[in-house]
Amino acid sequence: MAKNNYPRCAKCPTRVCENQGRKAGEGPPSLLKVPAFCPMKLMPEVYPAAMKEYDIPRVKEFARRASVQEFQCYERLPDGRRTRLPRIEELIQFARKCGYRRLGLAHCGGLMYEAGLVTDILEANGFQVASVQCKTGAVPKERIGIAPNEKIAGPEAWETMCNPIAQAMIVNQAGVDLAVMLGLCIGHDTLFIRYCDVPLTVLAVKDRVTGHNPLAAVYASATYYRRLRSKID
């Protein structure tokens, strides 16, 4: 693969891979019209390797359940297709499909209220919920090299570091079937994902400004958040 030729599906004018309008069983699309940056052209060896993974029975069954869940998020009505499930309901249905009993909620300390609501909902639906917030361990931020002027509450204050590695280790040990991330910060979520050994999904990501809906600013980037389209400091 040439150095400056890398996959860019987000810029694709053709979306040939979706094979829209063709009938089941008609076969895959021709790649003649895919752009030069198409991963199907750049990295064709990936696809057989990926399909080999789906041939592992437990992986195949997991993928099948996920696709059935995707299907159940829509309904086809005489006037067209509609969406029908918020993500929390999708999570409940998928966890049931997989036979999961205990879920591990890894949440931010800033989302204690939301973590309580989510726990109530999941428990009302028959799940056990092991939860652990990011400040667990009570380790001061100085331990990872944070300077006094980098503390949110001010230089003099005790500030407990977010500890996503401990969160992950606790979730790993708590006998959960599925970890659910709720509002972890950017970077902390990266560490949690890196150290979490159980199947993992995300209920919500943190966005302090938009009610934890980062796409709100993205949608408004042609209007009120136009500054996002210039280089940001």
Contact residues toward ligand SF4 (CB under 6 A) are: 9, 12, 14-17, 34-35, 38-40
- Report the candidate in 49, 50, 51, 41 with the shortest Cα–Cα distance to residue 6: 41
Is residue 8 within 8 Å of residue 37, measured between CB atoms?
Answer: yes
Query: Smallest distance from the beta carbon of 203 to ligand SF4, in angstroms?
Result: 27
Q: How far apart are CA 28 and CA 148, in angstroms?
A: 59
Rounded Cα distance, 201 and 62, in Å:
13
Instruction: Give min distance, CB of 7 to ligand SF4, in A.
Output: 7
Nearer to ligand SF4, 15 or 52 (CB): 15
Pick between residue 39 and residue 214 the one whose CB is nearest to ligand SF4: 39
Name which of 39 and 199 has its Cβ closer to ligand SF4. Answer: 39
The answer to whether 171 and 132 are in contact (CB under 8 A) is yes
Nearer to ligand SF4, 43 or 228 (CB): 43
Instruction: Supply the minimum distance, in Å, between the C-beta of residue 17 and ligand SF4.
Output: 3
**Angstrom distance (rounded) from CA 185 to CA 108:** 8
Position of tokens 């560490």?
Answer: 191
Whichever of 10 and 232 has its CB closer to ligand SF4, that residue is 10
- Closest distance between ligand SF4 and the C-beta of residue 34, in Å? 5
The tokens describing 179, both together, are 């970890």
Q: HSE-up of 54 (CA within 13 Å, CB side)? A: 11
Least distance (Å) from ligand SF4 to the CB of residue 38? 3
Give the span between the Cα atoms of 233 and 229, in whole angstroms.
Answer: 12
Count how many residues are written for the chain: 233
> Based on CB atoms, which residue is closest to ligand SF4, 38 or 203?
38
Instruction: Measure the CA–CA gap between 36 and 12, rounded to whole angstroms.
Output: 10
Q: Find the shortest distance in angstroms from Cβ 22 to ligand SF4.
A: 14
